[in-house]
Amino acid sequence: MSRPRIFPSSGFTILDPSVKFEEENLPDYLEERYYPVQIGEVFNSRYQVLTKLGFGSSSTVWLCRDLHNERYLVLKVHVRTRQQLPEVQISKHLKAIKEFHGGEKYVRLVLDSFEVPGPYGVHPCLLYEPAGIDIRDYIHCLEGDALPEDLLRPTLRFILIALDYLHQANVIHTDVQPNNILLGIDDESILAEMEEDELSNPAPRKCLEDRTIYATRAMPLTGGEPILADLGEARLAGGNQTGLIMPSVYRAPEVMLGMNWDSKVDIWAVGQTAWTLFEQGHLFKNQSLENDTDRAQRFAEMISLLGPPPLEFLRRSEESLKFWDENGNWRTSVSIPEQSFESRESRLQADNKMLFLGFLRKALRWLPEERPTAKELLLDRWLRGSDY
């Protein structure tokens, strides 16, 4: 077991305490929800915080060192809650499965979890293997702000392998999107460099009476294989499920209409994710879908690209009668856009374009049972590419 390192108590930029900084800029930020993490702090008598990696509405994220096993890990310190996080249960379920699949290495599981008491309540803490930036941030580093086709195909193959592993284990991810696809780390020396940089060049920070808010240290670009992350919204289930899931911009039609849903929602999300990564924008307009007008506009977009939904699909939910009549005719005042996949897709030509759109049409079907499984979609001709 190694000894904790001593981090500088001076030599860093102190920011104006009256100016909002980092997580304070989030619209729902309340300081009493967040645990006041200190760089150098040791959690659970084992994990020493080294530098800040990020923040969100539900947590702050830190690079840490496991003093027992001499390895780097990522520590996520959640906002206060007394509820057990579903991600912990699902990770335990997956780690208990003894059969080898191959997709295990492409899913980021919780390695350890514990709780820490804060000034205002209890905070769950989760530990993960380190990973690089998400693929959306990676794309911003590329010319054209989009993923090239020769990188898109292998990325989607890794994600489908991960989903096949999850689905065979009766886990539905429900939140497949670019922000949850992380680059792997093929050389952990970058983590040692980040630790040393925090010692020699401490992060700027805002010092308040009861907490310090640190600047996030950017993760360097890495070249490892992509990993599917964030099981925070995942469901452990073998059959049909109910309830609202998925970010609104990626939401599957069966979820929008309050129908039962299953693992095929993840296949729908893969299709939309493929478009986002390749086409410099979302397939559908990013709306909240909180009212019938928003939903009518989204369904109109779907009709323009996928054709009208089968009656068999519409009859599974009385909600559909708000938008279609008993015979499946569109009944709202929202007009159907004049567009097609062919008119929207602008980066490919001839056979490649036809094959890519064929891949999308497989994933984006109205009837969930007509969408292929993750394993079946891996056999798609466009996805396999010329090398397969």
Q: How far apart are CA 250 and CA 240, in angstroms?
A: 19
- Nearest residue to 250 (alpha-carbon basis) of 136, 151, 147: 136
Sequence-distant (6+) residues with CB within 8 A of 338 are: 304
* Phi, psi angle pair for 267, to nearest 5°: -70, -40
Q: How many CB atoms lie within 10 A of CB 339?
A: 11
Q: How far apart are CA 183 and CA 131, in angstroms?
A: 6
Q: How far apart are CA 332 and CA 325, in angstroms?
A: 10
Sequence-distant (6+) residues with CB within 8 A of 235 are: 86, 171, 172, 174, 241, 245
- Enumerate the H helices of the chain as residue ranges: 86-95, 135-140, 149-168, 189-200, 253-256, 264-279, 292-306, 311-314, 341-344, 350-363, 374-377, 381-384
What are the angstrom distances between the C-alpha of 176 and each of 143, 163, 228, 229, 317? 24, 9, 8, 9, 25
- The one catalytic residue in 134, 175, 230, 266 is 175
Q: Tokens for 165?
A: 């592993």
Residue type, 190: I
- Confirm whether 266 is a catalytic residue: no
Residue 65: strand pairing partners? 48, 72
What are the angstrom distances between the C-alpha of 316 and each of 19, 53, 230, 253? 52, 45, 31, 12
Q: Is 76 annotated as a binding residue?
A: yes
Q: How far apart are CA 211 and CA 37, in angstroms?
A: 8
DSSP-derived letter for residue 228 is E
Q: How far apart are CA 77 and CA 58, in angstroms?
A: 9
Q: How many CB atoms lie within 10 A of CB 225?
A: 15
Catalytic residues: 175
Q: Which residues contribute to the annotated binding site for ATP? A: 76
Q: Which residues contribute to the annotated binding site? A: 76
